[in-house]
Homo-oligomer: A and B are copies of this chain.
Amino acid sequence: MDSLHTLTATEIVAAIHAGRTTALAVAEECLARIAEIEPTVGAWTHLDPDHVLRQARAVDRMPEPGPLQGVPVGLKDIIDTADMPTEYGTPIHRGRRPSHDAACVALTRRAGGVVMGKTVTTEFANRFPGKTRNPHDPRRTPGGSSSGSGAAVGAGMVPLALGTQTTASTIRPASFCGCVGYVPSRGDIRLSGVMEAAGSFDALGLMARSVEDIHLYRSVLVGVPMAALARPALADLRVGVARTGFWEACEPATRDAIERCASALARAGARVSRVDLPAGFDAIAEAHRWVSSFEFVRNRAWEIDHHWERISAPLREARIADGMACDFARYDASRATLRACARQLDDIQRDHDVLLTPAAAGEAPLGLQSTGDASFSTLWTALNVPAVTLPLARGANGLPIGLQWIGSRWADDRLLAAARAVAHAIGPVA
């Protein structure tokens, strides 16, 4: 057996169910891995090894092994936990201790998952970064806002982690850190007990090492066993390549990887075609900006009124200034723009099982002050469609580059089945 900390969640569960290892042994290996590299990566804002070991022992005593039995999980620190602080990435909420677990946390524990700790989030899941560094090159950003979750999975500290996405907060760090990342269709997974950034767009985000693990954890979070993923033949797959208006902003390695993957799919018999998004989609970024800022500023009304001076200047001067400048008419018109675009995307998606598109401009950029360009996800998040990124490419510096797959709303099973088929039958393209 491989070193336990390199196994996927699916492999861990199988090994524990078969009696080949225990939750305790897996937790100890992950803690050892964390002890080794956490000083460099800084993925965690709360980590209590003794509490982890207590949880693991309790899981080993569970009379019925669960579907996530003994799997260590990292939780973005905007997700409420009854037994650990939940601080939203701000000194304003230092030491905040929720009264009960968020829905996703309770469901994780019910399934036998072991909560390793809380991962670093940018301030209020917005842009101002925390301490986390990219595990593949500590001079680079891990992406944000689910920075610690992406870094923890990418560094082999845990096989699974939860983030959230309001703009690009799961797909971007997953791409930069070399993880599989997944954002479900709006509404499929409950956000009760998760800090709201902007409810029109917020979704939980899952980070893992394989599409199988995403499917497994999604089933746990939906709270009911899901049917096994279909196994579509690539020849049945209708793939639309959506370069988007940001194609020229991509690094050459990203454009190459998309083209190579599209060619490999076509060679394997898939029906690959180019999708030119409607010109009206150019308005999405601006509409997303106003809607998300408008909602963010209302959601943070208490902090704005009571702790204004403890909010970072970048947050005050960008997101909050936008939200305060936006009147209801602009908010309402922006939502209408997004609804119209979503209907157009529905029409496009009727002819495609998945769209293939960049997950980010390219490798994680140098520097820790910015979490990178969000444009490659904003488009899709704003339209509430599900997305998966697969770490199938590498850039000029050998760092991971994700390829993003977009599914139709409420057809996540089809998206995940297609993503798994691509990961198995095509694999790395660069």
Contact = CB atoms under 8 A, between A and B. Distances in A.
A340 to B, nearest CB: 13
Nearest to A223: B298
A327 B224 contact: yes
Contact of A199 (B190, B224, B227, B297): B190
B82 A302 contact: yes
A321 interface: no
Nearest to A325: B224
Interface string A326-344: 1111001001100000000
B101 A99 contact: no
Contacts of A303: 100
Interface stretch (A105-113, A257-265, A417-425): A105-113
A110 B328 contact: no
Interface in A264-295: 295
B110 A299 contact: no
Contact of A101 (B93, B101, B302): B302
A89 to B, nearest CB: 14
Interface string A91-122: 00100101111110111011000000000000
Given A93-B99, A106-B305, A332 B410 contact: yes
A361 B332 CA distance: 34
B327 A100 contact: no
A187 interface: yes
Given A222-B328, A224-B328, A103 B301 contact: yes
A238 to B, nearest CB: 22
A244 interface: no
A93 B100 CA distance: 9
A235 interface: no
Contacts of A191: 196, 199
Nearest to A299: B192
Nearest to A96: B99
Contacts of A328: 222, 224, 226
The list of the 4 closest CB pairs from A to B, nearest first, reads A106-B301, A106-B302, A192-B196, A192-B299
22 contacts: A93-B99, A93-B100, A96-B99, A103-B298, A103-B299, A105-B302, A106-B301, A106-B305, A107-B298, A187-B199, A190-B199, A190-B295, A190-B298, A190-B299, A191-B199, A192-B298, A192-B299, A193-B302, A222-B328, A223-B301, A224-B327, A227-B329
